[in-house]
Structure 1
């Protein structure tokens, strides 16, 4: 199959190594499966249907919580599994249940929030269960904190609470992921540096945000865990992404594919590159590598 995408489409890349029968492909959402308008391209929907018809597994691997991913269930009927919260949760979209979950230790949650409080202004996004908890007054700060594109999504999917900090700091709470959306990159970087020795996985994301998951948990461990559940060797997996929190899965998968709009670090971590998220990169990854057309 030949591709004729827009001017951002990359030059063709030779397939690395010998032939591999890939069985599972996992797509990041924002910047990958979702285009610049936060929509799923028709070409992606059609390619996912072709993959499902061929007996392949197509999964989502996102920093989003299960509730945010489930919103796309009707648009993506060929997708049953999701690696949520950057690897902290593996979720069955068809049955609506968590298969595995890894929570951040409560003392690490407390230290992270205390450090962020000392550094400056931020929005706190707390994942617990299948959804997120946020404060309305903080969601109103989304443009100031570099996440304006998600403001309506937060309003539509969050459990609005008076004090998100209290939710995170509840000793009985299981928190698989924390997001801090800071007002500027410098504050984000200072906070990251101060917590570099904490027993937690930290990834930069968005313009000035930090994403926290349990130590040793990332999208790379997530794709390996899902593969194990399905009885697929990790060498038979493909990961497709564009951002910093995708690096681990691009390296862990049998084949890492960076989008045409990916950051340089993602391109370096990947084995191949496909077209960008507005020009059919996801369909290309399925047809070219998963189906071998």
Structure 2
């Protein structure tokens, strides 16, 4: 029997290859993990609407952590908790990104807004609040400047899903905290969790898990913080991790 009862998987750059697919090999090993009694779940920066097809493909009915922890689901379609960005914060983030010619995007409960369809005002109805904001720049100096400005406010959790972006959640909201809520729900300990990821929005999750596994394509800081490094997302690294560390 595996020492781990829960496997949390990041999606882009981790369980998904460059074509945004889960290969048959990875599907098979996830299936074997589930058959052995391990709960397999996604912990992703994506919004829940964009992962429904992957959940169906794998036949999962497990909890979810989405939008870097801004939403935690006890099962698909069953929201457990939600953490929001205040309207005035999003106005601040929008001004900062647009003023420096960054591409930007943001999620609400029901919508995704980008540089191309940004709404005329940021005030949201009570049932459709802001959940996460992201911005992209190819200039590392611009990203560093924005990160410093945002860090000084003390309001935001700052991570990335690529070296060229910054992802913004409310302070203290991250995948690790989302996983802790799932552990409480399932009555398991964080020491019994294995997690795989590749970017800074996975960093706290890998540190908090009993076994933090970095992908071979992970950012260097993620590899340094992880307990183990597996193959890349183009080499079925998740399948390798399941075979090597969970079902050995």
Tell me whether the two structures share a fold, i.e. TM-score over 0.5.
Answer: yes
- Among 171, 179, 187, which residue is 2:142 paired with? 187
Q: Secondary structure at the match of 1:71?
A: helix
1:79–1:262 CA distance, 2 compared to 1 (3 A): farther
- Asked whether the 8 Å contact 1:124–1:164 carries over to 2, the reply is no
Tell me the TM-score normalised to structure 1 length.
0.77
1:255 and 2:211 correspond: yes
Is residue 2:129 matched to residue 1:134? no
Q: Aligned runs of 1:228-239 on 2, under 5 Å?
A: 228-239=184-195
Matched, 1:72 2:72: no
**Conserved? CA contact 1:104–1:215, under 8 Å:** no
Partners of 2:104 and 2:114 within 8 A in 1: yes
**Aligned partner of 1:113 among 69, 72, 94:** 94
Name the counterpart of 1:97.
78
Distance in 2 (CA, whole Å) between partners of 1:169 and 1:122 is: 22
Q: Which of residues 194, 209, 228 in structure 2 aligns to 1:272?
A: 228
Are the structure 2 counterparts of residues 256 and 221 from structure 1 closer, same or farther at C-alpha, using a change threshold of 3 Å?
same
Q: 1:170 aligns with which of 112, 120, 124?
A: 124
1:46–1:130 Cα change, 3 Å: farther
The change in CA–CA distance for 1:176 and 1:32 in structure 2 (over 3 A counts) is: same
**Distance of 2:216 and 2:209 partners within structure 1:** 19
Q: For 2:85 and 2:181, how far apart are their aligned partners in 1?
A: 18
SS in 2 for 1:21: coil
Q: 1:165 to 1:62 in 2, by over 3 A?
A: farther
Aligned residues of 1:58 and 1:79 also touching (Cα < 8 A): no
The gaps in structure 2 that reach 5 residues or longer are none
Within-5 A mapping of 1:47-66: 47-66=29-48
Unaligned runs of 5+ in 1: 1-18, 139-161
Structure 1 segments (4+ residues) deviating >6 Å: none
* Structure 1 residues 95-152: Cα deviation after superposition (integer angstroms, max 9, x where no partner): x23221111233322222222233x2233322111542335xx3xxxxxxxxxxxxxx
Give the 3 Å change call, closer, same or farther, for CA 45–165 of structure 1 in structure 2: farther
CA separation in 2, counterparts of 1:89 and 1:175?
A: 11
Give the total of aligned pairs.
246
Displacement, 1:91? 2.5
